[in-house]
Structure 1
Amino acid sequence: MFCWYRSKIVAYSAFILLVSCGGINRVSAQSGVPELPESSVRISGFGTLGLTHSSGPDGWGYRRAISQPQNDGGTRADTDSRLGVQLNYAPSVQFELVGQLVATRRSSYAPLSDSIEWAFAAYRPQTDLTFRIGRLNIDAFLLANYRNVGFAYHFTRPPVDFYASLPHTLDGADISKTLQFDNSLWRFKAYGGKSRSGDLSENARVAVKPVVGITTTRETSELTLRAGVAYSGLSDNPTVLKPIISGLESISAIEIPEVAEQARQLQARLDNSNAHVVYYTLSARYEVSDWLWTFEVTKVKGHPSAHMTSGYAGAGKRFDAVTLFAGVSLISSPNLPSFTPEWSSALTSVLGESEAQKIQRLGSAAEFAINKSGANQQSYSVGARWDFHSNMALKIQWDHIQIDHYGGRLWANATMASGNANVTTVLLDFIF
């Protein structure tokens, strides 16, 4: 029965994610919301040791998330390897403090605080009502509570096309309410605070605030459905883009209407200040007999620089201690390519050739930055998981990835060209 695999996730969620609503609710769907003892301290952890080999376009580096630093591809041990430690302290049934640290290779642009995944206080006045405040997960996706915990899912990593560019920590607060209806459990969650996002292979991180959202989850013993919507404010621009945006603002004041209008259009595509995006998400997980089916899709609207649609679907079949799985995923950024404006001839007669060429180079830089932001690719995956120990799993996965023109944002050192890549991963996931 595939409930064996589900029981591993449930047991792990109850053990290491005690007050996160995902862990609590997975237990609740079976036997009600558990209560913590009068006073308890738990130290637990998880880790992954892995090797990843990618063969793709020359010089491109494979990444599991855009928060990872530059790399030049080939065989690497730092793509998936990580170690996490968590402390849960519950002074009473109603209160709990949770901290989680994750050690992995990070970009030089990442502050030390990025190692802190969780640092929050939880208060449960009732077993079906939870308040949390501090650094939390954004509980909008199926793997939100354990995307770093490889032991909790069958594939080697969360589907890159879907999860690689999504923010996942929230500095703020949330409230969740759980209700039981016949054989189903419903959880309603609202959250608010601030987050951060951006490519850390270069200095392109920005603050994302305010973040406010709601998520509704329905669970039975076999089926989990989740839907949500979130609003994210974009309050600043990446450091690497600020000189270009400032230059475009100056060009828009030039008294040549065609040039000024094109500069304003380019600036609008790049300038995130005082902008926003809206995330719409839908997820499903179906577990029956020895089969597991998963599906997620998200659509991002709002500022043109963030428009995106991504999703994945996967299936797994268990044979005793071995699970075979396969999946397909994609990500698409619309409205590309953006073409370089031709300003030289119009500006030369007014400003002179030297100054006109400087402005033309700025226009080319703006076009390059817009096109570089595109993520357009499709991935096909097959693999296997062997649970040779109650706390350890050995996995192997092969991915074939097709990258479209102007679609390499998820890669390090990507150009505007299209290409194909094959990624082979072997790793060991464990919990303790």
Structure 2
Amino acid sequence: MTKPDPRTAQVVATRACISVALLAGGVAQAADPDGLAWTFGGFGTAAVSHSDNRRADFGASVLKASGAGYSDAWSPHVDSRLGAQLGVTINKQWSGVVQVITEQRLDRSYRPLVEWANVKYQATPDLSLRVGRIALPIFLAADYRKIGYAYPWARTPGEVYGALSISSSDGVDASYRWKAGGLKLLTQAFVGGTGFDLYQGYTVKARKLTGVSTTAERGAFSSRVSAFSSEVSINLADELFDGFNQFGPPGQALARQYGIERKRFNALTIGAGYDPGDWFVMAEVGRFNSHSFLGKTLTGYAGGGYRIGAFTPYLTYAASHAKSPTRDPGLALDGLPPALAAPAGQLNAGLNYLLMSVSVQNTVSAGVRWDVRRNVALKLQYDRVRPDAHSRGTLLNVQPGFGERPRVNLASAVLDFVF
């Protein structure tokens, strides 16, 4: 019997993760294709990261409480997670899936979160409808964003994927498969919304979420173009903007400009990849506009790697640029009586601290993936993160004096697995 090429085995395994049947390691419990069948599988990441900058945390998401650096020089919280997925096929038309994930949250707990929970109706071989909690079809890795084994790096590039921390919505979608010019295409239209608690009464709400996404495949080539819009409310800075409202029309104008109360959030992303087996390249760009203190950004990354047996060295460059102010003079202090000038100055400082969250940053990442065995991969990655002087980029828990040494050197060891 011919021994399979490890590079081919890796590509096949990764593509299996990307497919809807990602967790096909679960065993179907009914032989009749028209009868009831169940699948179960899981995935996880055990990781540790070290940062040399103790005045900020490197984190994989703003929805986490801590990371590597300020909170802990060595941190397991950046990438570690565990997930499980249960699927059921009732017949050729009806099926359902539930996916549950546990990873660090803003309250520092690891309380499980239901990432997916939907029912699917296959109306025709090309048309399907779903209702429930559905993965947002934004970015190339949308369908496997939480499954580290499915992508080559330790984590998805933060400059791009960090611009949209929400990864699922509650609603309905329709998907249609079609062909054109030798391409296999899948167009998905979706409507929904989401909302969740952050911590201590702070919440995020996204209403009237609508969008469309189209993926295209031809041989080793794949791409995705997505656009969506939503009405977003986040009450994290309500006290600050209530303070601005007390200063008449100038303060009220600042509150309207930067507050996040039913603000329209728009996003457009375009990504493409080419993976013939021995090597791969991929790139994505995104444009995001929050119409608030979260700003307007243009983001992107490009990277590639080469497979040498079970090893895949890779290199990636990612960047985010602000298309809106990262500083604002705020309220004019000249002419204000001392009793008002002091609180006005504090409000201005608070506003500019918020504007630091508009990501202006670039990262060079280099690493190697080792497919230790079937469904298990070890990744070692080094990241050189450089935020702008007036931005904290994707970093968390930024402390006074961070601007004196804004660069971060991060080393990570990540063990990804599926079962």
Normalising by structure 1, we get a TM-score of: 0.85
For 1:156, what is the secondary structure of its paired residue? coil
For the residues of structure 1 that align with 2:259 and 2:406, how far apart are their CA atoms? 29
Query: Structure 2 unaligned runs (5+)?
Result: 25-31
Map of 1:184-195 to 2, 5 A cutoff?
184-195=183-194
Deviation at 1:322, TM superposition (A): 0.9
Q: How many residues align?
A: 398
Out of 271, 275, 283, the residue aligned to residue 263 of structure 2 is 275
Match of 2:36 in 1: 39
For 2:371, what is the secondary structure of its paired residue? strand
- The question of 1:309 aligning with 2:332 is answered no
Q: 1:342-400 CA distances to partner (integer Å, 9 max, x unpaired)?
A: 6444221xxxx32443333333323332x232211100011111112111111111111
Check the 8 A contact 2:88/2:96 in 1, yes or no.
yes
- The question of 1:325 aligning with 2:314 is answered yes
Deviation at 1:5, TM superposition (A): 3.4
Pair 332,17 (structure 1): closer, same or farther in 2 beyond 3 Å: farther
For 2:335, what is the secondary structure of its paired residue? helix
Name whichever of 215-224 and 271-280 sits farther off: 271-280
Q: 1:124-170 CA distances to partner (integer Å, 9 max, x unpaired)?
A: 12222111111110012110011111111111111111112312111
Check the 8 A contact 1:70/1:201 in 2, yes or no.
no
Percent identity between the two aligned chains: 24
Out of 343, 352, 363, the residue aligned to residue 348 of structure 2 is 363
Check the 8 A contact 2:49/2:411 in 1, yes or no.
yes
Pair 106,4 (structure 1): closer, same or farther in 2 beyond 3 Å: same
| Amino acid across the alignment from 1:16 | L
Match of 2:143 in 1: 145
Match of 2:172 in 1: 173
For 1:303, what is the secondary structure of its paired residue? coil
Q: 1:41-93 CA distances to partner (integer Å, 9 max, x unpaired)?
A: 0110011111111112x321110111111342411112211111110011111
| Amino acid across the alignment from 1:347 | L
| Amino acid across the alignment from 1:42 | T
Match of 1:390 in 2: 374
Pair 286,138 (structure 1): closer, same or farther in 2 beyond 3 Å: same
For the residues of structure 2 that align with 1:125 and 1:337, how far apart are their CA atoms? 48
Match of 1:425 in 2: 412
Check the 8 A contact 1:340/1:364 in 2, yes or no.
no
Deviation at 1:289, TM superposition (A): 4.4
Deviation at 1:37, TM superposition (A): 5.3
Out of 15, 18, 39, the residue aligned to residue 10 of structure 1 is 15
Match of 1:22 in 2: none
For 2:239, what is the secondary structure of its paired residue? helix
Check the 8 A contact 1:51/1:76 in 2, yes or no.
yes
Check the 8 A contact 1:65/1:165 in 2, yes or no.
no
Out of 65, 71, 87, the residue aligned to residue 69 of structure 1 is 65
Cα-Cα RMSD: 2.5
For 1:419, what is the secondary structure of its paired residue? coil
For the residues of structure 2 that align with 1:248 and 1:402, how far apart are their CA atoms? 32
Check the 8 A contact 1:380/1:400 in 2, yes or no.
yes
More helix by share: 1
Check the 8 A contact 1:178/1:186 in 2, yes or no.
yes
Out of 377, 383, 388, the residue aligned to residue 361 of structure 2 is 377
Match of 1:249 in 2: 245
Check the 8 A contact 1:290/1:318 in 2, yes or no.
yes
| Amino acid across the alignment from 1:251 | F
| Amino acid across the alignment from 1:229 | A
For the residues of structure 1 that align with 2:381 and 2:34, how far apart are their CA atoms? 40
Match of 1:160 in 2: 158
| Amino acid across the alignment from 2:122 | R
Pair 237,149 (structure 1): closer, same or farther in 2 beyond 3 Å: closer
Normalising by structure 2, we get a TM-score of: 0.88
| Amino acid across the alignment from 1:102 | I
